[in-house]
Amino acid sequence: MAHDFPVLRTLMTENDLDRSLMLLAAQLYCDFPNDPDLILVGIKTRGVYIAQKLAELLKKNHGMTTNLGELDITLYRDDLSTLGAQPMVTGSNLSFDVSDKKLVIVDDVLFTGRTIRAAMDHVVDYGRPKLMRLLVVIDRGMREYPIQADYIGMKLATDKTQVIQVRIKEADEGHQDVLLCRLPDKC
């Protein structure tokens, strides 16, 4: 992970995270059983890996296949100027028409709602989905925009001195867990 914050506690072990993703996949299957119009769209970076894991679980546990997409929302953020002088843009991949499809936007943590607002703006540049839902591993509250998740692995109250790190093996050197950390300059 790009940041090493002091860890306050482990919120989910690897097994806990795997179990949470399995339950989220089961919820998706209940709401969209074998629906060919379902598309999982992960927000880069960790949302993409989580969406891939959900698609694998849907296939393995329910025999359901679904399309996958990737969103890089960097240039859609309304707080772009606060992200640094040269934000890294890696590109999006929605290689299919999203019009009249059922999209589930997937991300690791829901906090202010700014990332999700940017993702929704980006999606509509590709077409007008029939519906959009939101799936997150962690909902930490403290919203700045009126955005709520439809599928949540864990919900907890945090404060501005804390940060949530969802670590996924593919992105975080083999680590897979969820950590509650403290910002280093906050006591």
Query: Where is average pLDDT lowest: 12-26, 86-100, 128-142?
Result: 86-100
**Residue at 165 is within a domain:** no
pLDDT of residue 95: 82
Average pLDDT, the chain: 91
Average pLDDT over residues 73-77: 83
CA end-to-end distance (rounded Å), the chain: 22
Task: Answer yes or no: are the C-beta atoms of 179 and 163 closer than 8 Å.
Answer: no
Average pLDDT over residues 16-26: 98
Total domains in the chain come to 1
**Residue at 107 is within a domain:** yes
**Residue at 79 is within a domain:** yes
List the domain range (segments joined by +) for residue 32: 14-160
Domain with 100 in it: what CATH number?
3.40.50.2020
Query: Where is average pLDDT lowest: 1-5, 97-101, 163-167, 173-177?
Result: 1-5
pLDDT of residue 187: 43
In the predicted structure, residue 4 carries a pLDDT above the cut 80 = no
**Residue at 147 is within a domain:** yes
pLDDT of residue 25: 98
**Residue at 179 is within a domain:** no
Q: How far is CA 54 from the centre of its chain?
A: 11
- pLDDT, tens digit, 9 for 90 and up, residues 27-70: 999 999 999 999 999 999 999 999 999 999 999 999 999 999 99
**Residue at 172 is within a domain:** no
**Residue at 55 is within a domain:** yes
**Residue at 87 is within a domain:** yes
